[in-house]
Every structure is written in C-alpha cells, then in structure tokens.
Structure 1
Amino acid sequence: MLIERAYVDLPEGEGTAEDGWPWTVPCVRQLAEEGLTFRAPVTFLVGENGSGKSTLAEALAEGFGLDSYGGSAGYKYASSRESSLLGGLMRFDPTREGRAMVRGPRTRRRGFFLRAETALEALGGEWGARKLSQHPDAMSHGEGFLLAFRERFSQRGLYVLDEPEAALSFSSCLELVGLMDELGSCGAQIICATHSPLLTALPGAEIVEVGEHGMRSAKWAELGLVDHWRRYLSDPRAYLRHVLTE
C-alpha cells in the first residue's frame, strides 16, 4: 500500500454544507471533517448514482497527480480539463512504502486513473507513448480495459478506477478481479468506484459504502446492491412489475 489516509487541506471552519458544492455531498463533507482511512490494498467505493463515489474517486486521482480526464501521472494536465476544487485540496498520509512517491516530485508517482467514459482515449494516449502493445481502437471497449490491466497496470502505484465493469462481460469481470488481486499483492493500491457485486466480492478488499449517511465500512453480504441482485436473479418479476406496463 502507498496511502494510509486521504484528507482535505481546508482552513478552519470551511468545507461545510453552507459553502455549497461539493461540500453539500455527505461523503465529501465527512471527508473534510474526518478524512478517509485505507485498510487494504484494494478499496471499493459503492453507492447509488449521485451518492458522490465518483466525485471521491476523481478527487483522489487528481490529488495524487493523475489526469482528471483519465490517464497516468505522466499525462497530468494532458487534457484541457482543470482539476476540481476537491482534487486540488486533497492530501495524503503515505505508508512507509509510499513515502517517496507521495512526498516526492510528481515524476516519481506511478498509477493510472481509468474513467469509463474516457478510457479508450486515455488508453490510446498510452499506446502512443508505446506503453501498450496494441491500439485500443483495434479491439472492443472491454478488451481495451483488460489490455491496460495486463500490460500497463503492472508496477507499484495508485490505480483509481471509476466503474470499470461498464465495459466488461461476466467472465471479463472475473478476470479483472484476479488482476486486481495480483496487482494489490505486488504493493500497488487500487481504489475502485463500482456498482458490481462481482468485483466487490474480492476477498480481503475494504468496502466503503457511500450515501446520505456519508461513508461507512461495510461487509459484502450486507450491501444493498448484493441484496437487490440476489433478489432480482431469484425473481425478476418482483422488480419488473414496478417498471413494465401491463
């Protein structure tokens, strides 16, 4: 692991809901008040759409020096998109292993920010820098994701993923679980925002549930998304009758 804790560097008294967005988001407000502690090489952020999990993931990536558009540390500011307010205020308490990378110059930092909506463009930039053996345009979206994991995500660094399951089949998600486990066991750290009960079942991973309550640790079997999928697969009509016309 590289990071023990993330927190926001705010002047005293600022960062409350009265200051407007993003401080109106419960998980962001809790981050400003308490910080976020990491207890495992792989951390999953789960929650409904609009809960703030992607906002957290983006800010963590930006704070570490990864391009907010998606990409590696070496591509910081490669896009015209400016860092968010929260990302600019993000700070980290590093582990002993991560101290040189976190406290040193940005050129020492290693990692990647994978956003579902910009992944192929970011991976195309990696191919242009000769960091991938194949151009992502020559394969499907999901194949490009897995190519990046196999070839690019192979060194100790911080890897932030925002809903990677969006492009993956069931079997590809299983492969991703294995790759994430292998990467985490090699000293890297992964933070993944996801809706997937398959990914979050990775043994030993920390799960942080994000919602109106803010942030809290959760067990896989207790997650709402796991319960809903289990119920839906058992009896689809119990859910579909609420959304389908007669």
Structure 2
Amino acid sequence: MIIERAYVSGVSPGEGEWPWFLPCVRGLVADGLRFTAPVTYLVGENGSGKSTLVEALAEGFGLDSWGGSHDWRHASHRPRSVLGERIRFDAAPRGRRMLGSWSARKGFFLRAETALNALDREGFAPESVSHGEGFLAAFRGKFLHPGLYVMDEPEAALSFSSCLELLGHVDQLVRSGGQVVCATHSPLLTALPGADIIEVGDHGMRRVAWGELALVDHWRRYLADPRSYLRHILD
C-alpha cells in the first residue's frame, strides 16, 4: 500500500460552496476515506462526486489535475482545485518516502477526456493509434512502478477485451507494489478479485460488494431483457 487514508485539512464542515456540499466530500471532511486494498473503485451516478474525489486524490499526491505522470506536475498550468489543495494522507512507509521526496514519487493520473493529450505530451504519439490503443499504451508504458495510479473512467475508450487487458495490467501493477484508485461505471472492472468497492451517492460513501452494486443489477437485467428498459424511453 502507498496511502492508507485520505482526509481534508483546514475546512469547516459548514462551508456551503462547491464541492463542500457534495455528500461524498462531506463524508471525506467528517471521517476521511480509508483504503483497505491495493485497488479501490469508486462507483456512482453522474454528478455523485466520484470524479471530484479522484481528481483531488491525484492532486494531493502531486499529480497534474489534467492528467499525466509524476514527471509532469502542473504541466497543464491549471490551478489546483480547492479540494485538492486540502487533501492530506496517512501513508504507509513507502508512501511516506514518496510524499517526502519528489524524486521518489511515482504515479500517473489517467482521466478519460484528456488522456490522449497527456500521452502526446509524454511522447506516445497518440495520433498514430486509436483512442483505445492510446489508453492501452499508457497502461503498458506508464503503469509499471510502485506508486499511486489514479484513473477516471478508463473504460470510456476501451472495448470489452481491452478492459480485460486493463485488468491484467492492474493486477500486475499491484503485485509489484503499486496502488490504484479508479472511478468507474464498469461492472467488468469492478469485478477484480480483492478490490475494495465504494459506492458514492446521496448517502455519501459506503463499501458495497460487487454483487450488490446497483450498476451490476441494472446490467444484468438489461442484458436479460433490454425491452424492459427501452420501453420506458423509446416511442
């Protein structure tokens, strides 16, 4: 493990502006977020705040909020988010060494909407490959060393078989000492054995078993009978 707990420093729980009113952020302020496995998935509906959380975690670790590796801190010249500025970590010994020395820090922040720009900046020439192949190039070339790897909906550009390949990369990464935090809508990715799944929503944050996830239930029922869903939205 690299980080064992994330929490927020210097915030009054009464602050009412974004992102402090999000239930998951209120939970982070009140109780922090403990990491109990090398792979943590954050799942939830659009607007629940899971992307806000993973971006802040990446920023708190020193990764550029626009995406990229530890070597490209603030390469996008975007200011850090108000939440990212206040994220703090309780870290394992390896994580404390990384947080205490920039040269020792390793990691990558992969966000779906800016992944190809980040890869181009790091010399992957994504114009020569498809969107999905560009994502896989990052996994093959950047997800290698013990460190913190943060992903925001990586399945957006990936086929079913490419998602399976991603799971293989994640498994090898954590076996070598890496840690992964991923926001996702994918029932395939969240099925990784041993992963910790945290559901984000109006309730804040809670740990849920894969088989109890709403997204898994919806996919099962949709694939079994698409018309039971489509009749509500199609004329």
TM range (shorter): over 0.9
Q: Shift of residue 108 of structure 1?
A: 2.2
Moved over 4 A (4+): none
Tell me how far apart the structure 2 counterparts of residues 161 and 237 of structure 1 sit (CA, whole Å).
Answer: 33
Instruction: Give yes or no for the alignment of 1:95 onto 2:95.
Output: no
Aligned residue pairs total 235
Structure 1: state its 5+ residue gaps.
128-133
Deviations 1:50-103 (A, max 9, x none): 00000000000000000001111221111121100000000001112222002x
Instruction: Give yes or no for the alignment of 1:113 onto 2:109.
Output: yes
Instruction: Give yes or no for the alignment of 1:123 onto 2:124.
Output: no
Q: Counterpart of 2:215 in structure 1: which amino acid? A: L
Residues 73 and 107 of structure 1 are in contact (CA less than 8 Å); yes or no, is this contact kept in structure 2? no
Tell me how far apart the structure 1 counterparts of residues 136 and 181 of structure 2 sit (CA, whole Å).
Answer: 17
Deviations 1:152-198 (A, max 9, x none): 11001110000000000000001111111111111100000000000
User: 1:71 is matched with which residue?
Assistant: 68
Instruction: Give yes or no for the alignment of 1:36 onto 2:40.
Output: no
What fraction of aligned residue pairs are identical, expressed as a percent? 66
Instruction: Give yes or no for the alignment of 1:61 onto 2:63.
Output: no
Q: Which range moved further: 210-219 or 105-114?
A: 105-114
Deviations 1:196-245 (A, max 9, x none): 00000000000000000000111000000000000000000000001101
Tell me how far apart the structure 1 counterparts of residues 163 and 201 of structure 2 sit (CA, whole Å).
Answer: 25
Tell me how far apart the structure 2 counterparts of residues 228 and 222 of structure 1 sit (CA, whole Å).
Answer: 11
Tell me how far apart the structure 2 counterparts of residues 177 and 219 of structure 1 sit (CA, whole Å).
Answer: 18
Q: Shift of residue 120 of structure 1?
A: 0.2
TM-score (norm 1): 0.93
Instruction: Give yes or no for the alignment of 1:169 onto 2:167.
Output: no
Correspondence for 2:13 among 1, 15, 24: 15
Residues 45 and 194 of structure 1 are in contact (CA less than 8 Å); yes or no, is this contact kept in structure 2? yes
Tell me how far apart the structure 2 counterparts of residues 151 and 113 of structure 1 sit (CA, whole Å).
Answer: 13
